[in-house]
Amino acid sequence: MPSKRLCYFTSQRVTAYLWEKGELHKEGVFDMNEKGVAEFSTYAAGAPGSLFYVLADVVEEDFFQENVPYVRGADRRSLLARKLAQRYRDASLALSLSLGSETHAGRREERILYMSFTNTHQFQPWLEALRSNDARVVGVFSVALVAAQTGKRLGFKGGRYLMVSRQQEYLVNTRILPRDAPALDVLVLAPSEHKALYDVACVNSARLQFHVHDLDKVASSLGFKSAPAETLAEGLFLHVLAAYSSGEQYADDRLRRFYHLWRARVALLATGAAVFGFCLLFSAVRLLDIHQVNEQAQNDRMQEARASEEYARLQTRFPKTPISSENLKAIVKNYRALLRQSASPGRMFVEISEAVTALPQIEIDKIDWELGTGAKSAAGREASKAPSASPAAQAQAVGAEFQTQTAEISGKLVVQQASDFRAVTALVNQFTEALRRRPGTEVTRTQLPFDINAEKSLAGDIGAARTEEVPQFSVVVVKRRGT
């Protein structure tokens, strides 16, 4: 934290103080001449990292109250700047202070107190000395501004009060204080050794209400520890100025340029420190997570090692198998293939039953069902025909074929005329077509009651001597499994 240096400006001299933790230390007194300004410039150059506060205690200070239209933003700033330029010849050390708002004739207005030093020439050499040395000037303050801040720190709740009672007549004459106003509060800061005299002298009246406070007790309550012996109430005002920040002051931005740069630098450093702290905290959290993950991984590796040891120990107790592991794997594979090949004729019988139901002239005598295989390719067919040399080769041959169901259906035809070849043939064809319409079903052979080969004469078991026999037929149906 940079040191704070306070410049107490009066019409006779400028006194410089160093403020440290509630203690004032006098560092120099400079007369109101060119030599004093030169010495003050040297003093300011010797404290490049300090914050400078200028407290002016002069009589050339003007106050003027006026109501202005209630506006905000750039319009308000332009209005107040124009009012200050109209009121004061030199507005470099001027201030407009808002006293609140009120309504007149339905129009909202803002009460503004204009404040300025009427003789700004006496300040210019000293302020130029600070500006030329790139001093960080916090601001130029008056006793009136600091006195108001002191009253707030003392907890004084009065809306209007004075520090010096002789100003009461001035306020009445300038009509700032109405003649029929209630009693004006007067805050008196009396030295400890003379407080009894002040209590006797300060008599309340209809116009004035006195509040006498012990200066030493007030200073102690505000954290003011010590000051040079010759200082009076200005020591308390200087302490309040240094210890408690105040936003109202007279200096313009040109004089406070390096102070603003310092504040921006502090803000950047604070932001960087905050970001760095956040990064450190985030890194600590991530490191903690990594540590926990590493511990968990270590525990998992230990559990894996114990499980591997237990498995190896159990393997030593397994009985010795008479075959190799390759043959055992091939046997397991063949066993799984056999499980996949296990089938039931139920679904195929249902399809045959549905086809027979549509043709009541057909009666089924028997169905011979068997499970077989069909080769997917020429390699598969060759593998299925050739004897396998090993279980692995058998498994490969099985994988090259697909499974089929074969059913030989034998039955008879109940027709009016057994010699009606066309009716018998049409009835058998209807039955085979009903079977072919089933998904994955193929009719491989059909045996009619007679031979209809074109190279031979029509022959069969239907003749004059066997006119009473019922025509017999057979159909071989192949269905691929899974369809």
Going from N- to C-terminal start, the domains of the chain cover 4-269, 339-480
Specify the pLDDT at position 402. Answer: 67
Beta bridge partners, 208, equal 184
Predicted model pTM: 0.57
- State how beta strands 459-460 and 450-451 pair: antiparallel
Q: What is the pLDDT of residue 293?
A: 96
Task: Let me know if 54 is exposed, middle or buried by CB neighbors in 10 A (0-12, 13-18, 19+).
Answer: buried
Count of beta carbons in the 10 Å neighbourhood of residue 355: 23
Angle between helices 233-243 and 143-153 (to 10 degrees): 80
| 3 state SS of 342 | coil
- Residue 295, pLDDT score: 95
Query: Residue by residue, what is the 3-state secondary structure of 162-202?
Result: ECCCCHHHHHHHCCCCCCCCCCEEEEEEECHHHHHHHHHHC
Query: How many residues does this entry show for the chain?
Result: 483
- Please provide residue 57's backbone torsions phi and psi, each rounded to the nearest 5 degrees: -120, 80
CB contact at 8 A, 109 and 101: yes
* Closest CA relative to residue 451, chosen from 439, 461, 440: 461
Mean pLDDT for back-to-back runs of 10 residues, the chain (483 residues):
90 92 90 93 92 91 89 91 89 88 87 90 92 92 86 72 50 57 80 85 83 85 82 85 84 90 94 96 96 95 95 82 80 82 80 88 89 54 47 46 82 81 87 88 86 55 54 89 68
- Whole-number pLDDT of residue 179: 64
- Supply the pLDDT for residue 378: 40
* Tens-place pLDDT, residues 273-296: 999 999 999 999 999 999 999 999
| pLDDT reported for residue 377 | 38
Q: Cα–Cα distance between 172 and 184 in angstroms, integer? A: 11
Q: Which pLDDT score is estimated for 395? A: 43
Q: Where are the beta strands (DSSP E) in 201-281?
A: 208-214
